[in-house]
Structure 1
Amino acid sequence: MYPLLPWKWLSGLLGLVIAITVYVDDVGQWFGVPVPDTMVIRLLPLILLGVFSGFFGPTGYYAPWRMLWRLIPGLNRWFPDLNGVWVGTTNSNWPTVKKLVETALSTGKVTEQDLHDTPEQRDAMAVQITNSLFTLRIAAGLSSTDGESHSITAKPWRHQHTDRIHLSYVYEQHTSNHAATDEETHLGAADLALTTEDVSRASGTYWTRRSWRTGRNTAGTLELSRLEPRKAKDMSLRDYAAAHKAKITD
């Protein structure tokens, strides 16, 4: 998540590390504590790097930086804590794709207006986001299938004009009990934009290359909200998605 930090912060941090390394022996002399040059050159950079990594590197609920962020929520404006389970809905163009395929296999006709008026397919989904200063991983599960997806690359970025934080990622989905016209594994991509006023909400779009050779690849929209800051060990993402589907269909 470090790409979200302003470059002035990063350069300032680097300058601070250099200043500490250069002047630590002088500070030690002021307090009557000799600091050998060997320690300054060899050990101090490693100590500073270890402290920095130990503070910002972990992703667990009790990670030092996450505890500080819970005390000072305003820090999420610059570097948000997105860890936990998110639930929401997908709206897919699959009914439109299906209508096109069925028409191609028959003698019937379909107009562009018919395709435009075809309602999207709505489904519940659950997403687990894992992030720290150095890490961003995204996994997802749907209520309608037993497939789960995992990001193979993910990058956060900040929009130059709206200042909204985006998460853009490529994912791989595995579906074990897939239909004959489906694929066991396919790639997809998504772009999520966090709500400016509340980083616990996000929306965006996705695309897939699922069965693209026969024109069955899909696209759609996503809407998510953060449900809890850590995933329960006895629940899968599909369990979360199924529970959310029951809630929104009641």
Structure 2
Amino acid sequence: MWKVFPKFGLAKFLIFVICALATMGGVWVTSGWSGVANFLNNNGFDVITRLTLPVLIIFIVFTWLMGTYVWRAVWKIPFIGSTLLNQKLCPDLNGTWIGETVSTFTDTDGNPYRKAVKLVVKASFFNFDIRLFSDDKYQRSTVVQSEIYKDHRDGSFYLSYIFESLIDQPVETDDAKFDGSAKLHIRFEENEINLVGVYWTNRCWQKGMQTAGTINLRRSD
């Protein structure tokens, strides 16, 4: 999620926090603004040196708490968080998403192959991780890279990921291992968020049987 935020604005915010902590520490040590001159004339610079480490530690702890836990509470504030921050700054996708994929691969009757899937998202300001599961247990998929980003051309948010699938007992015409990727549009529809997009794989590409398809997911918790 760190990648989504405007870097210049975020840098200004972090600098402001550091300066505020340093100022509060300085004012506290000098017993108010009136003691600044006397403070500097005595052993002020030595005290400042000793304050640097505590201020840095406080800043790191503050940033970690904000980026890991506090931000989600802010994002749940009616309208400010749930609407403005979620739709304009960065959506909170934490949770379990369920839905289905519809593949270009067809069954013996010529119908598109459908599969129920589940997506689990764990996100903070510093990390973004997803896990992909299918209900049929035929294959195991591991997401090797994932990210959420904003398309500044139209302001839309997207979730993209690359995955690796393993099949322990593939049928004769299938591969035991293949790779794929997906790009999902994060859609805000009324009071809910849907993930809608496409995926593609290199499954059996040597035989011209590589597959693609659509994905439609909704939050289940």
Q: TM-score, normalised by structure 1?
A: 0.71
Percent of aligned pairs with the same residue?
Answer: 26
* Deviations 1:211-230, CA, capped at 9 Å, x for gaps: 222222211110110001xx
Q: CA deviation at 1:46?
A: 2.5
1:109 counterpart residue number: none
In structure 1, C-alpha distance between the alignment counterparts of 2:60 and 2:135, rounded to whole Å:
43
Query: Structure 2 matches for 1:43-122, cutoff 5 A?
Result: 43-57=54-68, 63-71=69-77, 72-74=81-83, 75-77=85-87, 78-95=89-106, 119-122=111-114
Q: CA deviation at 1:2?
A: 1.1
1:110 counterpart residue number: none
User: Where does the alignment leave 5 or more consecutive residues of structure 2 unmatched?
Assistant: none
Indicate if the aligned counterparts of 2:99 and 2:117 stay in contact, CA closer than 8 A: yes
In structure 2, C-alpha distance between the alignment counterparts of 1:55 and 1:172, rounded to whole Å:
33
1:161 counterpart residue number: 153
1:220 counterpart residue number: 213
**Secondary structure of the structure 2 residue equivalent to 1:44:** helix
The total of aligned residue pairs comes to 204
* Deviations 1:66-122, CA, capped at 9 Å, x for gaps: 2332234233222222111101111100129x99xxxxxxxxxxxxxxxxxx65222
In structure 2, C-alpha distance between the alignment counterparts of 1:132 and 1:80, rounded to whole Å:
11
2:5 counterpart residue number: 5
Q: Which deviates more, 82-91 or 27-36? A: 27-36
In structure 2, C-alpha distance between the alignment counterparts of 1:130 and 1:173, rounded to whole Å:
20
In structure 1, C-alpha distance between the alignment counterparts of 2:100 and 2:209, rounded to whole Å:
21
Question: Which one has more relative contact order, counting CA pairs under 8 Å at least 6 apart?
Answer: 1
Indicate if the aligned counterparts of 1:145 and 1:175 stay in contact, CA closer than 8 A: no
In structure 2, C-alpha distance between the alignment counterparts of 1:184 and 1:76, rounded to whole Å:
40
1:208 partner letter: T
Runs of 4+ in 1 over 6 A off after TM superposition: 31-35
Query: Quick one: structure 1 residues 150 and 39, their matched pair in 2 at CA, closer, same or farther if it must change by over 3 Å?
Result: farther
In structure 1, C-alpha distance between the alignment counterparts of 2:150 and 2:192, rounded to whole Å:
13
**Secondary structure of the structure 2 residue equivalent to 1:162:** coil
2:203 counterpart residue number: 210
2:96 partner letter: V
Q: CA RMSD in A?
A: 2.7
Q: Which deviates more, 67-76 or 207-216? A: 67-76
User: Where does the alignment leave 5 or more consecutive residues of structure 1 unmatched?
Assistant: 58-62, 100-117, 229-250
1:195 counterpart residue number: 187
In structure 1, C-alpha distance between the alignment counterparts of 2:218 and 2:100, rounded to whole Å:
10
**Secondary structure of the structure 2 residue equivalent to 1:93:** strand
Query: Quick one: structure 1 residues 39 and 154, their matched pair in 2 at CA, closer, same or farther if it must change by over 3 Å?
Result: farther
Q: Greater share of strand residues, 1 or 2?
A: 2
**Secondary structure of the structure 2 residue equivalent to 1:94:** strand
Q: TM-score, normalised by structure 2?
A: 0.79
Query: Quick one: structure 1 residues 76 and 208, their matched pair in 2 at CA, closer, same or farther if it must change by over 3 Å?
Result: same
1:224 partner letter: L
